[in-house]
Chains A and B, each alone.
Chain A
Amino acid sequence: MLAHLPILQVIVPLMAAPLCLFLTRSRLVWLFALMVSGAAFLISVLLLQQVMASGTIIYELGGWDAPWGIEYRIDLLNAFLLLIISAISTVVLFAAHTSIKEEIPADRHRLFYILYLLSLAGMLGIVATADAFNVFVFLEISSLSAYALIALGKDRRALWAAYQYLIMGTIGATFILIGIGLMYQMTGTLNMYDLSQRLPGVENSRTVFVAFTFIIVGVCLKLALFPLHLWLPNAYAYAPSIVTAFFAATATKVAVYLLIRFTFSVFGLSFSFTALPLQMLFVALGLLGIFVASFAAIYQQNVKHLFAYSSIAQIGYMIVGFSVSTTTGLMATLLHLFNHALMKSALFLALAAVVYRIGSVQINQFHGLGRQMPYTMAAIVIGGLSLIGVPLTVGFVSKWYLVLATIENGWWPVTVLILLGSLLAIIYVWRIVEAAYFKPPLAGSESIKEAPLSFLIPIWTLVIANIYFGIDTRLSVQVAQAAAQSLFGVSP
């Protein structure tokens, strides 16, 4: 049983998804989905323990040897990502039953859980597999269910957002497919480890350059790197609130993982960063992303839009950390993956609670909510502080390492810009605080009550995690550091 954990991690939610069809009552399906997601979380914890104790786990599907058969390879980075995804999915799912009651028609609840589990399985699969083509398959499983999930939103704009995401996402995935094909053409293998052994032999051919470019552009579309981010704000704003909380915390993170995996492990550091001016390009795009998206966030009237733009800015920070291409830089990126997942899931879940109570996330509807929904609003404030990077929250930890990495590298202007970018976060978070605490309540809003416990428990679990991992950084820093070091070790 324990030996089969890597495959169970993916297959459990994948198999559970169609089983939902046999359950009729919405509550039953919810409990079932929650159990499945919880099982996935348990498996990921066990996997992380195993990896930390005894190193990389290699699992050959069906017993076929690696270059021929598909191989799952769980190292620290994979285990870390699996943990983030399954943990967030479970916590978010806890609030799903209450939240979708208001947002999705009853006859579609079952479909919602099926899509949710499929999407979860896809994301876990992307991370677990060590086969380049398998990545594409899982990417499409998670994306196709994501388009459908977004289209479940109440507003008709959800349909339009889902359509646009479908077009952009498919182009991105097809680019990745082209890249994988070109790599296969040059090396005759799809196994990532095998690829990393064989690519150096042919790395000066134009085909490999083209393959690399296609994969990078495809992945960047998926991770919403500025200026390829256009699909993201509307998709996040009009999707059902639960879906937003889940995707904001996980979907882009998986794409960042792919970026790291392909550049560091498959193509190798020397090729990725010396053969192409990737470093300059990513630093520039990352910083531009931080500023453009943060400025855009400041002017949003819809709070979901606001945090969606802030997500794009946060991805900018990850990309800057990535492009420093030192151990500390990569560590900052990995930490921010983890920390941003915590903040954004907490924030979007709190917004889900607001939607549940007042049915809107327009900022002018937030007036006086600080008194009427004190716990929910406090969660938004703490999440916002974390977003800014105030000490004692997780946001501070990752910003700290990011600043450290840029200083180590002597990139002073970048350091200054990162700090300036954080100031912009203060402005947009302040707008919400101002509306919620310093404006008189709207007429007729006396009846608004605090969100029910089924929201408050998961929200505060995440908020406390935000504070806990901001103070006790042992787990996250240790894992991120070891993962970053091993990435640099594998490809000198």
Chain B
Amino acid sequence: MLMGLYNYWVVVVLMMVGFYIVIAHGNLIKKIVGLSIFQTSVFIFYISMAKVDGGTAPILAEGIKQYSNPLPHVLILTAIVVGIATTALGLALAVRIKEAYGSIEEEEIQKKDNLDC
């Protein structure tokens, strides 16, 4: 149970760690780090589910009868690219926020916003 589903345990733990950081931390950079961890857990999830017991790489060659499913790998390549774009955009926004507010702490930004209103 524990070892057989090892990958999935890793997925769940990473997912919760990432999600918790996003929710609990007020620092904008830390939030993005949390978001990346959260997304990474999904990458591992896709890759794990593609694995076929005893399967090798999906190459057309003699002697290879059982192979892992290559489709999730391809899918997750796309998702990785999306993840990078999101992280980059998030960090770029954090830089601009730092320039505009002089802080990357959620509480301070919120305080300055409340003064503006």
Which A residues lie at the B interface, using CB under 8 A? 133, 136-137, 140, 144, 147-148, 151, 156-157, 159-160, 162-163, 166-167, 170-171, 174, 177-178, 181, 184-185
Which residues of the other chain, B, contact A162 by a CB distance below 8 angstroms? 93
CA distance A235 to B15 in the complex (A): 27
Task: Give the docked Cα–Cα distance between A408 and B108 (Å).
Answer: 52
From B79, B86, B90, B100, contact of A156 by CB (8 A):
B100
Partner of B85 from A144, A163, A174 at Cβ < 8 Å: A144
Q: Given A136-B79, A147-B93, A167-B31, verify A159-B39 contact (CB < 8 Å).
A: no
> In the bound complex, do residue B45 and residue A184 qualify as a contact, i.e. CB atoms below 8 Å apart?
no
- Contacting residues, chain B, for A157 (C-beta < 8 A): 113, 116
User: Is B113's CB under 8 angstroms from A160's CB?
Assistant: yes
Which residues of chain A are within 8 angstroms of B72 by Cβ–Cβ distance? 181, 184
The residues of B with any CB-CB pair to A shorter than 8 Å are 19, 22, 28, 31, 35, 38-39, 42, 45-46, 49, 72, 75, 78-79, 82, 85-86, 89-90, 93-94, 96-97, 100-101, 109, 113, 116
Assembly CA distance A163 to B39 (angstroms): 17
**Shortest 7 CB-CB distances between A and B: which pairs?**
A156-B100, A140-B82, A163-B93, A185-B49, A159-B97, A159-B96, A170-B86
B93 near A151 (CB under 8 angstroms)?
A: yes
Contacts of A160 in B (CB 8 A): 97, 101, 109, 113
Residues of chain A within 8 A of B93, CB atoms compared: 147, 151, 159, 162-163, 166
Taking a contact as CB atoms closer than 8 A, the residue among B22, B113, B116 that contacts A167 in the complex is B22
What's the minimum C-beta distance from B108 to chain A, rounded to whole angstroms? Answer: 11
Most buried by A among B28, B31, B75, B78: B75
Contact B97 A163 (CB under 8 A): yes
Which of chain A's residues has its CB closest to B22's CB? Answer: A167
Q: Binding site of A, secondary structure by majority: helix, strand, loop or mixed?
A: helix
Min CB distance, A133 to chain B, in Å?
5
Chain B residues with CB under 8 A of A177: 42, 79
How far is it, in angstroms, between the C-alpha of A257 and the C-alpha of B46 when the chains are bound? 26
Residue ID in chain A nearest B11 by CB atoms: A178
Which residues of chain B have C-beta atoms less than 8 A from A167's C-beta? 22, 31, 35, 90
Report the bound CA distance from A163 to B100 in whole Å: 13
Q: Which residues of the other chain, B, contact A144 by a CB distance below 8 angstroms?
A: 82, 85-86, 89
Q: List 7 A-B contacts (CB under 8 A).
A: A137-B82, A144-B86, A147-B89, A163-B93, A170-B90, A171-B19, A171-B38
A181 near B45 (CB under 8 angstroms)?
Answer: yes
Chain B residues contacting A133 (CB-CB under 8 Å) are 75, 78
Chain B residues within 8 Å of A163, by CB: 28, 90, 93-94, 97
- Contact B97–A137 (Cβ < 8 Å): no
A2 to B101, CA, bound (A): 52
Residue with the greatest number of chain B CB neighbours at <10 A, chosen from A137, A162, A163, A171: A163
B78 touches A137 (CB 8 A): yes
Q: Which residues of A contact B82 (CB under 8 A)?
A: 136-137, 140, 144
Query: Chain A residues with Cβ under 8 A from B85's Cβ?
Result: 140, 144
Separation in Å of the B76 CB from the closest CB of chain A?
9
B19 / chain A contacts, CB cutoff of 8 Å: 171
Nearest chain A CB to B109 CB, angstrom units: 6
A181 and B42 within 8 A (CB): yes
CB distance from A143 to the nearest CB of B (A): 9
Assembled-state Cα–Cα distance A177/B45 (Å): 11
Decide: A148 and B89 in contact? CB cutoff 8 A: yes
Chain A contacts for B86, CB-based, 8 A: 140, 144, 166, 170
- Residues of B near A148 (CB, < 8 A) are 89
Determine the chain A residues whose CB is within 8 A of the CB of B116 once the complex forms: 157
Q: Which residues of chain A have C-beta atoms less than 8 A from B35's C-beta? A: 167, 170-171
Chain A nearest CB, measured from B32 CB (Å) = 8
The CA of A133 and the CA of B97, in the complex, are separated in Å by 33
Cβ of B20 to closest chain A Cβ, rounded Å: 12
Q: In the docked arrangement, what's the CA distance between A147 and B85, Å?
A: 12
Smallest CB separation, B19 vs chain A (Å): 8
Residues on the B chain within 8 Å of A170, using CB = 35, 39, 86, 90
When distances are taken between beta carbons in the complex, the residues of chain A under 8 Å from B109 are 160
Q: A residues within 8 A CB of B38? A: 171, 174
Q: Which residue of B lies closest to A162 (CB)?
A: B93
Residue of A nearest to B112 (CB): A156
Name A173's closest neighbour in chain B (CB-CB): B82
A208–B94 CA distance with the chains assembled, in angstroms: 37
Q: A156 to chain B: which residues have CB within 8 Å?
A: 97, 100-101
**Could you tell me the distance between the alpha carbons of A137 and B100 in the complex, rounded to whole angstroms?**
31
Give the chain A neighbours of B39 by CB distance below 8 A.
170, 174
Shortest CB-to-CB span from A311 to chain B, Å, is 20
Task: Name the CB-closest residue of A to B109.
Answer: A160
Find chain A residues with CB under 8 A from B42 CB.
174, 177-178, 181
Q: How far is the CB of B48 from chain A (nearest CB, A)?
A: 10
With both beta carbons as reference points, the residue of chain A lying nearest to B34 in the complex is identified as A167
Contact at A166–B100, with CB atoms within 8 Å? no
Are A151 and B49 in contact, CB atoms less than 8 angstroms apart?
no
Q: Enumerate chain A residues within 8 angstroms of B79, measured Cβ to Cβ.
A: 136, 177
Cα of A177 to Cα of B82 in the assembled complex, Å: 11
User: Complex Cα distance A181/B46, Å?
Assistant: 6
Q: Are A184 and B49 in contact (CB under 8 A)?
A: yes
4 further A-B contacts with Cβ under 8 Å, apart from A171-B35, A178-B45, are: A156-B101, A159-B100, A163-B90, A171-B22
- On chain B, the residues within 8 Å of A184 by CB distance are 49, 72
